[in-house]
Amino acid sequence: MQYFNPLTSHFYKSDFVDLHYYKFGTGEEHMLCFHGFGMHGKQFRELESELGNKYTFWGFDLFFHKATKLKDLSLENVKIGLTKRTLASLIIEFCNTHKINRFSVIGYSMGTHYATTIAEELPEMINEYIIAAPSSIKPGNIVRFFSRSKLGNKILEKVSLSKDAMVNLLTICKRARLIDDEGHGILLKEIKTYELRFNFYATLTYLRFLITDEAKLISALNNHPVRSIFIFGQRDKSYPLSIGKTFLSQIKNAEILNLNEGHEMINKHFAKVLGDLLS
């Protein structure tokens, strides 16, 4: 059923971040949405036409994206990073403010790290856990090197000051097969200005603690009534189905979709398939 409702824009102001989000849909159930790198809180708007009668969607601009701003944007604060507990506390505060007792989470690519952290920390509040192009299962060498390695992070900090240096770095990563052609093209779009380069550095640095604890996640999903859905793209070379086969086999009743899509899969086809599954 086609359904549309005016999208509205809001801020939730916590003690450390002005969190911008969009609200759409008018369903009684709630879904918290976490977009991919370089995107925004409207990325999952495609879902409204299929599921807007069932869910109210809350689409967040994630840290260092669009209108969401840390109150302390200093390099020193960025390097401190975001802990899982801090993210979970922010979500609890947000939900208490909006009288949300239970919710579903959906994350795409980078956003799967947010969705997965919430599933680990707050499984008792979750109805459905949905992750697409799940980099949270296996982030890849480039993310691990630049976010968690002291040497890699220092290199990234230095080259973020120069567009030419960043372009050269991405070229080296491509030649070393740390990223594929599609990933290389996506990242090139995100380094055009100093602000974008800083946001790239800050995103990898600030979120470095959002590493999936597989044992904790498996326990959370298996011991709580959480419906878990994992969505892959057949042409996604960054996060293909093969990265999750061992992990997914340990999750009871895991639903696995392998769509005829590449990495950039959040589109009408994605919305139709998920709509049919959740309706």
| 56 and 164 belong to one structural domain | no
Predicted confidence (pLDDT) at residue 278 exceeds the cutoff of 80: yes
Overall domain count for the chain: 2
pLDDT one-digit tens code per residue, 66-98: 999 999 999 999 999 999 999 999 999 999 999
Judged by DSSP in three states, 92 sits in: helix
Give 178-184's long-range contacts (Cβ < 8 A, gap of 24+).
178/140, 178/141, 178/142, 178/145, 179/140, 179/142, 179/238, 180/237, 180/238, 182/237, 182/238, 182/262, 182/263, 182/264, 183/237, 183/238, 183/263
Would 1 be classed as within a structural domain?
no
pLDDT one-digit tens code per residue, 126-184: 999 999 999 999 998 778 888 999 999 999 898 887 888 888 988 988 898 878 888 88
Predicted confidence (pLDDT) at residue 6 exceeds the cutoff of 90: no
| 31 and 74 belong to one structural domain | yes
pLDDT value at residue 143: 86
Per the structure, the complete domain to which residue 85 belongs is given by 8-139+211-278
pTM of the model: 0.92
User: Tokens standing for 236?
Assistant: 């996604």
Would 3 be classed as within a structural domain?
no
| 179 and 274 belong to one structural domain | no
Given a contact cutoff of 8 angstroms between Cβ atoms, the answer to whether 261 and 159 are in contact is no
CATH of the domain at 60: 3.40.50.1820
Mean pLDDT of all residues in the chain? 94
pLDDT value at residue 202: 95
pLDDT one-digit tens code per residue, 232-275: 999 999 999 999 989 999 999 999 999 999 999 999 999 999 99
Best-predicted range by mean pLDDT (117-131, 143-157, 185-199): 117-131
